[in-house]
Structure 1
């Protein structure tokens, strides 16, 4: 298929392609919650990426979730102008429809899960 690796069904290759993407802007830069807009260096597709972490004070096995959502130019502009740092739910107002997104779930004491989901976006729990 002509689809770039960043959108391909191979989740590992997609994650690697997205992780190699160019940072456009960081919308939230907190130690346990990061939100950025990135652009695939191969095909130019924009992604909203979120990193969410909950601190595990007991075992320091911090549950982490990484999400990458393909977004269009219009959504990129809206995300850039919204004050996402003040109100993270602004993201869900802009990306309101069901969407295919890549989710890497790293729960405490369980195996990682990396998969494309198609559903309404949500913001994973974070500290």
Structure 2
């Protein structure tokens, strides 16, 4: 039985501290589970613009950079599909160092839905969830 692979990203805003959203990331990948809260992506507005361009052109690569703890790279493939590559690294609270890298591949017929989901996360704060087996 194949392990469930899942990524969930939720947006949260604490208006009493800042108007800038932070993101909670839950990742299950090949038996490993990683959770991060308070991930801040660099340049959310630019990311949204790049995702819109990618949706129109079906070309390119967009990086959601959450610092050393979490980076998600969204890349269009020649097949029309999308490849989501991630890299996580444990913080100082973890004894030792844990780095997890992997990817999710989404076929071309679902590419627009995936890109729209990422845009909804950045623009509207809607949850983004991707599951694969």
Q: Normalising TM by the smaller chain, what interval?
A: 0.3 to 0.5
**TM-score normalised by length of structure 2:** 0.40
**TM-score normalised by length of structure 1:** 0.41
- Highest RCO, 1 vs 2 (Cα 8 Å, sep ≥ 6): 2
Q: Which has more strand, going by share of residues?
A: 2
